[in-house]
Chains A and B, each alone.
Chain A
Amino acid sequence: MYIEPLVEPPPAELHRDPPAPPVIEVAHLHKAYGRTIAVDDVSLTVHSGEIFGILGRNGAGKTTTVECITGLRAADRGEISVLGLDPRRDRHELHERVGVQLQESAVPELMRVREAVELYASFYRHPADPRELIANLGLEDAQRTYFKHLSGGQKQRLSIVLALIGQPEIAVLDELTTGLDPEARRDTWRLIEGVRARGVTIVLVTHLMEEAERLCDRVALIDHGRVIALDRPAALVDATGTARLEDAFFALTDETTHADTNGVTR
């Protein structure tokens, strides 16, 4: 499978200083489900035009964090501002301007690709051209295919199409490449770089360190509901004296675990 890159990815220096204006600001977010603390204390800032990674193990609080950012859940405590909007109060306006792809979300099994894209286009004020977006994401041959008959990679590409159909300023993509084979994963990465090249800010939630290293300008490492590090992947690797982000992640999280047992944090 070969997918034409949408546009050449911009040179890596582009996101360096001066920093672009912030589009997402989260301060001291806290969210619990009953007695289980999903997010303890998360603060982060995402700048316009960057690919920002939210990394962590399963259950670290990544999905809850993005659910609060996108207005799907109310935070218990903390401040969140997205494009200057309050995600809960201005939920409707937020959803016009922020495209979201979540885990465990789908369109009806017996809906065709083209129908789903046209339906979702009708939800937005300024939708993209469905035909063009379908073509850009290499789904032209699958336009008349039912959702349930799509391959895993095609389903993921459709979910990117649906996240982008409203021409959002920010796209939040949660575990986009989980379950894809390595080739489809690499194709998806190229797509994301192409989307960023159009000026869309991307928040990428992942537990794949290789993915974050390859794509993200900056990453926030989340462990036990807290941000334990936030920097460029290369800077995290340098700071921990490791060779890869994966090793840096383990070095940082082991430290936290160690501190935890000593009662230093919390």
Chain B
Amino acid sequence: MSAAAISLSPRQRRAFGLLLAGEIKIAIRRPVGLVVAVGVPLVLLLIFGSIPSTTRPESALGGISFFNLYVPTLLVFVLIAVGLGPMPSQLAAYRQQGVLRRMSTTPVSPSWLLGAELTLSLIMAAVAITILLGVGAFAFDLALPNTVGGWLVSLLTLVLTAAATLGLGLCVAARAKSPQIAGAMQGVLFYPLAFFSGLYVPLTAIHSQLISDIAKVLPTGAGFNALHAAFGGQSPGVKPLVVLAAWAVGTGVIAARIFSWE
């Protein structure tokens, strides 16, 4: 997308800027997506950070506190909430209401609206993650990566996980004829994926080889594993990153093939 942005004329850049500004305003005017993607993980962080027992190291969790284990989960949660939430719903609504159809009669393609929605999603994810890490570190002594390498791996993992979840969101957005249909598809994907990020219960506490094997090949499980390792000062290895990249490319290709502008 950055290559596309560079080749735009000043007029096209202005049009994209107005389109993005419009989508940001609309997201603020109906902030359901913002509340789920930014508000819910922040509330969970504040709750678990405030319970004394969750910030004590636990031998059952491999010697780290539940809180430190849970923060990577919350970061992955942000990315599935952003990827599967606002963008697919909004595009489905635009398809149903004829917004895409209206734009297809102008010199600007409705695909620009998709570009603006993706940009907005990335902005939301970046803001939410920055808030979570900032509040976690300053208020609750969250253990952050302590090396430059750890930060780079974390950042790469976050980017790849975002690409994978947005790819899944695009597959939902590609065909959903209404926000209701998009919502149903989001639900089917969201709850199982959230489970494998450890949202309901830490996966290490389940002690099931099968569960941990499934987690390794899913974007949320792979994302969590890589972040957990990087935050704990270890190398996650290449495998989870390859899994995430494969999900990103695969879902992107499928979405591009099946996307309907009407």
Contact = CB atoms under 8 A, between A and B. Distances in A.
Interface of A: 70, 72, 92, 95-96, 99-100, 102, 104-111, 115, 118-120, 122-125, 162, 166
Contact of B97 (A109, A115, A118, A119): A109
B105 A123 contact: no
B26 interface: yes
B29 interface: yes
Interface of B: 11, 14-15, 18-19, 22, 25-26, 29-30, 93-94, 97-99, 101-102, 104-108
A40 B106 CA distance: 27
Contacts of A104: 98, 101
A144 to B, nearest CB: 12
Given A123-B15, A125-B11, 15 more contacts: A72-B104, A99-B105, A100-B105, A102-B102, A105-B102, A107-B99, A110-B26, A110-B30, A111-B25, A120-B106, A122-B11, A122-B14, A124-B106, A125-B107, A166-B107
B105 A102 contact: yes
A122 B15 contact: yes
7 contacts: A72-B105, A106-B98, A109-B93, A110-B25, A122-B11, A124-B106, A166-B107
Given A119-B18, A119-B19, A122-B14, A108 B106 contact: no
Contacts of B29: 110
A166 B101 contact: no
B26 A95 contact: no
Q: Which of B15, B105, B108 has the most CB of A within 10 A?
A: B105
Chain B interface mostly helix, strand, loop or mixed?
Answer: helix
A119 B108 CA distance: 11
A111 B22 contact: yes
A10 to B, nearest CB: 27
B94 A70 contact: no
A168 B102 CA distance: 16
B115 to A, nearest CB: 14
B18 A118 contact: yes
Nearest to A71: B105
Please indicate which of the listed interface residues B18, B30, B94, B102 has the most CB atoms of chain A within 10 Å of its own CB. B102
A135 B38 CA distance: 40
A262 to B, nearest CB: 39
B109 to A, nearest CB: 9
A162 B102 contact: yes
Nearest to A118: B18
A115 B107 contact: no
Interface-centre pick from B18, B26, B107 (highest chain A CB count, 10 A): B107
A100 B107 CA distance: 11
A108 B101 contact: no
Given A107-B99, A110-B26, A124 B104 contact: no
Most central of A104, A107, A119, A122 by chain B CB within 10 Å: A122
B104 A106 contact: no
A96 to B, nearest CB: 5
Given A96-B107, A123-B107, A123-B108, A108 B99 contact: yes
B107 A95 contact: yes
Contact of A108 (B14, B94, B107, B108): B94
Contacts of B107: 92, 95-96, 123-125, 166
A76 B212 CA distance: 54
B101 A102 contact: yes
